[in-house]
A and B are shown apart, each in its own frame.
Chain A
Amino acid sequence: MTGRNEWAPSPWRWPGLLAAATMLGLLGALLGQHAAWLWMSWGLLVLPPIVVVAAVARAGRLARRRRAGHRGRGRKVEGGKGRRRGSSLPPAGGSSSRIGIEGG
């Protein structure tokens, strides 16, 4: 394991939180006796779809930014902020071609 991985946040942090929120949402409306439980349930259970929509929207935005960079209008974007954010990086740190990530 590299030093970077030792200090990286656990990959389970967000999925774990979302799973806990989902379970709380599922049981809240079932066991709760008041409308507040319903609102809490709706608020927690809607998180997974929102996360997926937000991730797709973010990926689309970064891809557009990257394409704009390729056209020569956004060198700063290509090499700067977008690159730090991760989604403009080559797949999995550039090792995909070595392990056949794209499936031929």
Chain B
Amino acid sequence: MSARAIRLWAWTHKWTSLVCTLFLLMLCVTGLPLIFHEEIDGWLNDDPPYAEAGPDAAPAPLAPMVAQAQDRYPAETVISVFIDDDEPRVLVSMAPSWDAFMDAPRSRHWLAFDAHTGALRQDPGPGGGSRSGFIPFMLRLHEDLFAGLWGALFLGAMGLVFLAALVSGTVLYAPFMRRLRFGTIRIGWSPRLPWLDLHTLIGAVALAWMAVVGFTGALNEISTPLFALWQRGDVQAIVAPWRGQAAPSHAEVISPDTALRTAHEAMPEMRVISLVYPGGRIGSPFHVMAWAKGDTPLTSRLFSPALIDARTGALTAVVRMPWYLRALEVSRPLHFGDYGGWPLRLIWAALDGLTILLLVSGLYLWLSRGPRAGVRPSNAAAAPGETAAPGHQAAE
């Protein structure tokens, strides 16, 4: 590689890294507790235990749960019914109205029911529940910096800048390591040198993991616009025959048990996990949208929606998800690391820790650079293998 090319890549590596480092540090630090959110939630949770039920016990009907929720909040609208597949519980989400929910998604609140007995377990009320606490705080910071869609898009852009930093760092790896044995960390020569070698080593060994998690994270951040795109295209085409009709009133909407039964019949090999009532942003004003998923490690990540006529309970269509939403769905576990049991989560935490170390070492190398840090092109050309961390030296 020519000296000019090295300088160009070094400049790219320096600036892409500097632009995203602080945000990536925030993402790594907030992501660490999110890896163990189930355990942390379990420790912080003081809910009573679920009712004992045999493995073949039939689930309680959903309609009484929805009716009870509606009785407690008669002025509000049922948004969705979520049938948890991790715990035996059903969450009924409510909001002042669909318009209020679309304007401020955080206006939604939920009531939790025991899936076996149908008994109400929790009703944190509007403003309570999942919006407060340590994990929700970390999640919002991680997802969107408390800035909604624009925050999510900004973090997605930072993820792409991080990928550019990884690519440029990879290009610089070979010239730097040509005369060094893999894994060399030189201690005792100068304070910077061990950090430089550690930075290079972590970048080399965790490159694939960081690239996958960075890319899937960026993909997740643009999920809202992607779903909106799908809603405006495929879903609108399906509900076109209903356009111009009056949307069903709440009293006209079929029972959730009827919708569940129709969805089961339409997708017999899948597990229905949620019913979204008519009026949602992703869906139709004339249909209950049932979301179902498979039960293998891969298909459990692939959700398929079915549109069920909200007045008659008849199946309108099982909607095929476009490739970009399928890609998004498959990418989610690769970002969260929640698909391989607790050992994988521990490894995820270790790799997250390595990424934090990579970012901190890069920041230290930049902050501790000195007036002699510049590299003359002649030197770089004469011995590219000896230019230490071109990203932190040559371009300075």
Among B179, B187, B192, which residue has its beta carbon within 8 angstroms of that of A102?
Answer: B192
Among B185, B193, B201, B298, which residue has its beta carbon within 8 angstroms of that of A101?
Answer: B193
A20 CA to B208 CA, complexed, in Å: 8
Contact B344 A45 (CB under 8 A): yes
> For B301, what are the chain A residues with a Cβ–Cβ distance below 8 Å?
30
Given known contacts A30-B298, A46-B347, A99-B388, A15 and B205 CB-to-CB distance under 8 angstroms = yes
Among B185, B297, B370, B396, which residue has its beta carbon within 8 angstroms of that of A30?
Answer: B297
> For A12, what are the chain B residues with a Cβ–Cβ distance below 8 Å?
173-174
A98 CA to B189 CA, complexed, in Å: 15
Residue B144 at the chain A interface, CB threshold 8 Å: no
Among B190, B208, B350, which residue has its beta carbon within 8 angstroms of that of A91?
Answer: B190
Number of residue pairs spanning A and B whose beta carbons lie under 8 angstroms apart:
185
For the complex formed, measure the closest distance between the CB of B293 and the CB atoms of chain A, giving whole angstroms: 14
Contact A103 B373 (CB under 8 A): yes
Residue A60 at the chain B interface, CB threshold 8 Å: yes
Contact A67 B374 (CB under 8 A): no
For the complex formed, measure the closest distance between the CB of A95 and the CB atoms of chain B, giving whole angstroms: 4
Residue A23 at the chain B interface, CB threshold 8 Å: yes
Among A55, A67, A89, A92, which residue has its beta carbon within 8 angstroms of that of B201?
Answer: A55
Contact A15 B368 (CB under 8 A): no
> For A80, what are the chain B residues with a Cβ–Cβ distance below 8 Å?
none
Residue A75 at the chain B interface, CB threshold 8 Å: no
Contact B351 A101 (CB under 8 A): no
> For B173, what are the chain A residues with a Cβ–Cβ distance below 8 Å?
11-12, 15
Among A5, A33, A62, A89, which residue has its beta carbon within 8 angstroms of that of B297?
Answer: A33
Residue B261 at the chain A interface, CB threshold 8 Å: no
Contact B368 A66 (CB under 8 A): no
Contact A11 B178 (CB under 8 A): yes
Interface residues of A in 81-104 (CB under 8 A from B): 85-87, 89-93, 95-96, 98-104
Among B212, B344, B393, which residue has its beta carbon within 8 angstroms of that of A103?
Answer: B393
A76 CA to B232 CA, complexed, in Å: 75
Which of the listed residues B173, B182, B301 has the most CB atoms from chain A within 10 Å of its own CB?
B182
> For B150, what are the chain A residues with a Cβ–Cβ distance below 8 Å?
none
Contact B208 A99 (CB under 8 A): no
A33 CA to B373 CA, complexed, in Å: 52
> For A63, what are the chain B residues with a Cβ–Cβ distance below 8 Å?
187-188
Chain A's closest residue to B212 (CB) is A26
**19 A-B pairs in the complex with CB atoms less than 8 angstroms apart:** A11-B180, A18-B208, A29-B297, A31-B297, A42-B347, A52-B206, A55-B184, A56-B198, A66-B188, A86-B181, A87-B185, A92-B386, A92-B388, A95-B386, A100-B373, A101-B387, A101-B388, A103-B192, A103-B392
Interface pairs A-B: 8 shortest CB-CB: A104-B370, A59-B185, A104-B372, A29-B340, A22-B208, A63-B187, A11-B177, A19-B208
- B residues apposed to A, CB below 8 Å: 173-174, 177-190, 192-194, 197-198, 201-202, 204-209, 212, 296-298, 301, 330, 333-334, 339-341, 343-344, 347, 350-351, 353-354, 365, 368-376, 379-380, 383, 385-388, 392-393, 396
